A and B are shown apart, each in its own frame.
Chain A
Amino acid sequence: MEYEYWLAAMSMLPDRKKYLLRSHMKSAKAAYYIEETELGRLSFLNEKDCHTIKQARKDWDVPARYEALCKRGIRLVTVFDGEYPKRLGQLSDKPYALYVKGRLPDEQSCSVAVVGARRCTPYGEKYACDFSRRLAECGVQVISGLARGIDGMGHRGALMGKGKTFAVMGNGVDICYPQEHIGLYEDILACGGGILSELPPGTPPQGYHFPRRNRIISGLSDVVLVMEAKEKSGSLITADFGLEQGRDVYALPGPIDSGLSGGCNRLIAQGAGILLSPELLLEELEISGNLISGNISQKRLETEKVLETKEDMVYSSVCLQPKSVNDLIEETHLSAKEVLGSLAVLEIEGHVRQISKNHYVRS
């Protein structure tokens, strides 16, 4: 395994050549001890590759590096391992190796990618969370990228649904990027999920890593859900990979004047599945789980019963589009103090959320 790590971590050598070299030599150890003359004779390696390999042999302290890897609780899974995810194995552009903290997704259970914009609206956030939660409750694994915005909410929702969730990183698995998601990073591991990456530990996040890691997100999943995406968005790259890989793509419809739903609406227009409710999605995925239909409408009913008239008037004006106190005053024709008071009650009861100073959305 020490030698496997040496071969996998050689970032200058393309995955395809690593694969050919490893298959030719039957083991990574053999590849490490290959005679220089023989190395030169291999048709698929050019001079530069040979130099890379020779240099890597010199620089790489094989046992020490491997020990350090194990100490950090990171496992290496290469395409030659039985453990390598079958879903990824089908891909033409499959990563040569995956570094894993925690676990790999279960092959038997359905897995769904939840992707979307980093800068998202409360609408996208809410439904990323809701869908992930409901899916996770029914045993579906949620795959995403630990980014800010939708990705983070997808993971969070899955954890709320007591399910497993996996994050595919655009950097080494030992680095938490973005930093503020360190709590989420730890929760994912604590709840039996995993942090995955094709990049060796210690690799810092780079802009060009992310589009490539998106193919792994879609590759590991059976279905790709796009929650919120602009017309030009990294999430659409994931959707494209998903389509190429033969995955079903679903998109969350949004207002036509919201730029952040433009990409999703376009996907739907082009024939992607439309996300209407978690229950309908579960039906389409033929996952029964313990379906509690009408979950959302039931909640609404309860809310109405508890709330007094003034609060109810205010609540019915609050939606997922952030509204300021002033908008609400104008809509309800109540006085400033009444609206502020009602909002405080709604906030305390957890029906609305203040996302910026005096801007409220439903929660």
Chain B
Amino acid sequence: MSFSTVLSASIVGLKVEPVHVEADVSNGLPAFNMVGYLSSEVKEAAERVRTAIRNSGLDYPAKRTVINLSPANVKKRGAAFDLPIAVAILISLGKIRQREVGGMLVIGELGLDGRVQKVPGVLPILLQAKENGVKKCLLPKENAPEGALVGGVSVIGVETLRDAVEYLVGNRVIKPERRHDMYEEESGEELMPDYADICGQAAVKRATEVAVAGGHNLLLVGPPGSGKTMTARRIPTIFPPMTREESMEITKVYSILGMVDSERPLIRKRPFRNVHHTASKAALVGGGAIPAPGEISLAHEGVLFLDELPEFSKNVLEALRQPLEERKVYVARAHGTYQFPANFMLVGAMNPCPCGCYPDMNRCTCTPGQIQHYLSKLSQPFLDRMDICVEAPKVGYESLAGKGREECSAAIRERVCKARAIQNDRYAGSELLSNAMLGTKEIKRYCALGGKEERMMQKAFSRLGLTARTYHKILKVARTIADLDGAGQIGSVHLQEAIGYRTLDKKYWGR
């Protein structure tokens, strides 16, 4: 038979589009034509496929070959079409029967020697394929464990094109990859950094606990070398354990970028993304001609850490504002809008002044003008999204030598989980997930104050020069502190602690 078709798939943003690879081999002037809105890496498949077929010991006669990837209106990218193209050609040449690939999805990249190499995006492709009723999938051996995460699809991993052909003609039996429930496995978290490593710094630790418990964004202010990064790195360890759905969701994002481990593909640890301040807008929020997820999506359900916050270019930081509100990011292009998940906790770190010594006037060499200039790099709307601000002090020798017994992450995590459970109950049935997401209307409803507390806040409002925004943030944070305490009503102790975490208005900061 000269015409054949093989099912494959293409990734567009986070979405998966089924693609039918059609091949037609007929007599005529020898030629190899490929059509179907292809990007250059797909066009290059022609050379790889022809050579790989020949080098696999298969005969490739000089005939006229036409390949079409349909639907023709979806841009196809990546090298994952090599294997389906090769299989389609071999069907057309009569080496494989068409019915062998019925209901089967084929993906994989080919080397010139016929090796089948791993490709990104296997997990999302298979999840979608399962929904579309695909029963079997032929893919690179290295991707097999990742593919097997999706139960219900029989996953055949092949190492070479020759293996694939032999499997398809029935000369060889390849057992489907066993589904390995990695979610239940030990996650190896004991090897993670732990809160017990941080000595002293009680205020920072407590602030991170509150921040995680309520899903608040956190700003750490402290001199260079005060352990801001060290603390931030440990924040994921006090998050509630990841659910299976969360794990899959994150693994999907990582899979598209080809960042999953071949052996243990499921991501079990909360992501911690430390982004350098030279990062571009596209790198942070996602972008590219065909948008790929950025750092904020890689930090989904985890922590996005921006060190040296004022050094980031202003438009990069401003681009974070929308995803921080909506918990997902939309990247719009002429040919469509792409949506990526971005439910992350933002942890920013900065120095109190350019030299880092303020307010120690004996060592600080900055003028008030310089400090103001430094702070002015952060816009007020951006600062308004940081609910909690706390100072990370210089680490003294005692803290380094650290004899004191420090609380470990597990103990803190237990308290965080309790507070999260209270919030889940309270916000059941609504769109809200945590206290940080409360709007003005919800604050009125959920953060009601008693008479004594009301009077205290009134006094604080005028004495401390609070703005309406800082006032609301204090209430939200106080709600979280009360939840940590298991208290139904916000008490004055909760408010007082929340006041300590307020972001200073730039006007009053460093004067």
For B459, the chain A residues whose CB sits under 8 A away are: 348
A93 to B493, CA, bound (A): 63
Interface centre among A260, A341, A357 (most CB of B within 10 A): A357
B: number of interface residues (CB 8 Å): 39
Let me know if A345 and B496 touch, CB within 8 A.
yes
Which residues B356-382 have CB closer than 8 A to chain A? 358-362, 364, 367-368
A98 at the interface (CB under 8 A from B): no
Let me know if A326 and B221 touch, CB within 8 A.
no
Let me know if A341 and B203 touch, CB within 8 A.
no
Let me know if A325 and B509 touch, CB within 8 A.
no
B391 at the interface (CB under 8 A from A): yes
A43 at the interface (CB under 8 A from B): no
Nearest CB in chain B to that of A337: its residue: B497
For B389, the chain A residues whose CB sits under 8 A away are: 357
Interface-located stretch among B152-160, B289-297, B499-507 = B499-507
B200 at the interface (CB under 8 A from A): yes
Interface centre among B203, B360, B464, B510 (most CB of A within 10 A): B203
B36 at the interface (CB under 8 A from A): no
For B352, the chain A residues whose CB sits under 8 A away are: 356-357
A342 to B203, CA, bound (A): 13
A290 to B452, CA, bound (A): 40
A324 at the interface (CB under 8 A from B): yes
Q: Would A359 and B391 be within 8 Å (CB), given that A120-B361, A121-B361 are in contact?
A: yes
Let me know if A358 and B500 touch, CB within 8 A.
yes
A225 to B418, CA, bound (A): 59
Min CB–CB distance B149 → chain A (angstroms): 41
Min CB–CB distance B102 → chain A (angstroms): 65
Let me know if B464 and A348 touch, CB within 8 A.
yes
A336 at the interface (CB under 8 A from B): yes
Let me know if B360 and A344 touch, CB within 8 A.
no
Q: Would A354 and B504 be within 8 Å (CB), given that A119-B367, A120-B361, A325-B391 are in contact?
A: yes
B213 at the interface (CB under 8 A from A): no
A345 to B501, CA, bound (A): 13
Let me know if A326 and B203 touch, CB within 8 A.
yes
Q: Would A348 and B456 be within 8 Å (CB), given that A322-B360, A341-B500 are in contact?
A: yes
A61 to B359, CA, bound (A): 51
A327 at the interface (CB under 8 A from B): yes
A258 to B456, CA, bound (A): 38
Bitwise, A107-137 to B at CB < 8 A (1) or not (0) is: 0000000000001111000000000000000
Let me know if B200 and A326 touch, CB within 8 A.
yes
For A357, the chain B residues whose CB sits under 8 A away are: 221, 352, 389-391, 504, 509
For B204, the chain A residues whose CB sits under 8 A away are: 326
For A340, the chain B residues whose CB sits under 8 A away are: 203, 206, 496-497, 499-501
Let me know if A260 and B201 touch, CB within 8 A.
no
Q: Which of A260, A344, A349 contacts B500 (CB 8 A)?
A: A344
A339 at the interface (CB under 8 A from B): yes
B202 at the interface (CB under 8 A from A): yes
Q: Would A342 and B496 be within 8 Å (CB), given that A348-B464, A357-B352, A357-B391 are in contact?
A: yes
Q: Which of A148, A335, A341 contacts B496 (CB 8 A)?
A: A341
B415 at the interface (CB under 8 A from A): no
Which residues A316-339 have CB closer than 8 A to chain B? 322, 324-327, 329-330, 335-337, 339
For B497, the chain A residues whose CB sits under 8 A away are: 337, 340-341, 344
A329 to B504, CA, bound (A): 21
Let me know if A336 and B200 touch, CB within 8 A.
no
Nearest CB in chain A to that of B485: its residue: A337
Nearest CB in chain A to that of B369: its residue: A178
A259 at the interface (CB under 8 A from B): yes
A: number of interface residues (CB 8 Å): 36
Total of A-B residue pairs, C-beta within 8 Å: 102
Let me know if A344 and B510 touch, CB within 8 A.
no
A31 at the interface (CB under 8 A from B): no
Bitwise, A69-99 to B at CB < 8 A (1) or not (0) is: 0000000000000000000000000000000
Let me know if B391 and A329 touch, CB within 8 A.
no
Q: Which of B202, B362, B495, B496 contacts A329 (CB 8 A)?
A: B202
Let me know if B360 and A324 touch, CB within 8 A.
no
A329 to B203, CA, bound (A): 8
For A148, the chain B residues whose CB sits under 8 A away are: 368
B393 at the interface (CB under 8 A from A): yes
Bitwise, A40-56 to B at CB < 8 A (1) or not (0) is: 00000000000000000
Min CB–CB distance B87 → chain A (angstroms): 62
Min CB–CB distance A132 → chain B (angstroms): 18
For B403, the chain A residues whose CB sits under 8 A away are: none
Let me know if B493 and A358 touch, CB within 8 A.
no
Nearest CB in chain B to that of A311: its residue: B496
Nearest CB in chain B to that of A340: its residue: B500
Let me know if B203 and A336 touch, CB within 8 A.
yes
B205 at the interface (CB under 8 A from A): yes
Min CB–CB distance A290 → chain B (angstroms): 29
Min CB–CB distance B307 → chain A (angstroms): 16
For B200, the chain A residues whose CB sits under 8 A away are: 326, 330
For B362, the chain A residues whose CB sits under 8 A away are: 121, 258-260
Let me know if B460 and A324 touch, CB within 8 A.
no
Min CB–CB distance A108 → chain B (angstroms): 36
Interface centre among A119, A330, A340, A347 (most CB of B within 10 A): A340
Nearest CB in chain A to that of B206: its residue: A336
Please give 10 more A-B residue pairs, beta carbons under 8 A apart, in addition to A337-B493, A342-B496, A355-B359.
Answer: A119-B361, A120-B361, A121-B362, A322-B360, A341-B497, A344-B500, A347-B460, A357-B352, A358-B203, A358-B390
Question: Which residues of A are interface residues toward B (Cβ below 8 A)?
Answer: 119-122, 148, 180, 258-260, 322, 324-327, 329-330, 335-337, 339-345, 347-350, 354-359
Question: Which residues of B are interface residues toward A (Cβ below 8 A)?
Answer: 200-207, 221, 352, 358-362, 364, 367-368, 389-391, 393, 456, 459-460, 463-464, 481, 493, 495-497, 499-501, 504, 509-511
Offer 16 A-B interface pairs, CB within 8 angstroms, sorted by A.
Answer: A119-B361, A322-B360, A324-B391, A326-B204, A326-B393, A329-B203, A341-B500, A343-B500, A344-B497, A344-B499, A347-B464, A355-B511, A356-B391, A356-B510, A357-B504, A358-B221
3 interchain residue pairs of minimum CB distance: A340-B500, A358-B391, A341-B496
